[in-house]
Amino acid sequence: MSTSNGNPDTRSLKRNPPKLIEMRIRRRDNPDSPAYWQEFTIPYRPNLNIISCLMEIQKDPVAKDGQRTTPVAWSMSCLEQVCGTCTMIVNGKVRQSCSALIDQLDQPITLEPMTKFPTVRDLIVDRTRMFDHLKQIKAWIDIDGTHDLGPGPKMTQDEVAERYAYSRCMTCGCCLEACPQYDDNQFIGPQAIAQVRYMNMHPTGVMSRDERLEGIMGDNGIQNCGDAQNCVRVCPMSIPLTKAIYEENRETIIHGLFGWLKR
């Protein structure tokens, strides 16, 4: 509101201050530099998510104290909680920033990069370790031949439903961030174990089943799970991680006892 001479009506502004969104962001300029906190304010609009606020900061990167700064860096892709790329810690909870709505968050909103992966810059982390673990467990299905084998083997509806649940993993890293055992490559983590379950339930490509089990039986293997069950609580895709851990624990014990008979 303005007065008749065009100046802002300060009394009105005092009564109805423009709503602001306050953010504290844990930043790091490069992998070797120290982390620091920086605060930003953004004009409020309804229905914003974290990504749209980061985009506002990117347009005019000025911190709350008036200092011009560099734009905050983050990763994003699908913007519909399917790719997992925009995962970060929002108000202390690991989650996707695209589905974190400002209207549902306490302020000031704190944003931090995940801690279980090396920071590349600001909110971007390097999740290569997750993909290396998928290679370790051979997370692909070998074909049983290139000739026409006719219709594929049948699965029960229960098996189809369980496999579908595992297929929804988006390699976001939430379960690994929450797992107290996942650190310094000492534990392969629940995500890779669930993918062993997913792949080994497939009726095709049986040649690699034992290799997948052996992929989770090494020093960083399934035996390092402490059964805290944090992983299943934070998985945004509701993947039954503890069931996968239970089943693969059983499979690895059987393989350890009797696997040599197959050779």
Q: Which residues bind ligand SF4 (CB under 6 A)?
A: 84, 169-175, 179, 181, 190-191, 194, 225-231, 235, 237, 239, 241-242, 245
Residue whose CB is less far from ligand SF4, 172 or 216: 172
**Residue 175 vs 213, nearer CB to ligand SF4:** 175
Rounded least distance, CB 243 to ligand SF4, Å: 11
C-alpha Rg value of the chain to the nearest Å: 24
> Which residues have CB under 8 Å from 97's CB, separation 6+?
49, 50, 51, 54, 74, 76, 86, 87, 88, 90, 111, 123
CB 231 within 8 A of CB 242: yes
Shortest separation between residue 176's beta carbon and ligand SF4, angstroms: 7
> What is the smallest separation between the CB atom of 229 and ligand SF4, expressed in angstroms?
5
Q: Could you give the CA distance from residue 245 to residue 259 in angstroms, rounded to a whole number? A: 19
Main-chain phi, psi angles of 137, to 5 degrees: -100, 15
Residue number, 72 or 196, with CB nearest to ligand SF4: 196
Q: Which is nearer to ligand SF4, 40 or 187 (CB)?
A: 187
Closest CB 232 distance from ligand SF4, rounded Å: 7
SS3 percent helix, strand, coil of the chain, rounded to 5, is: 35, 15, 50
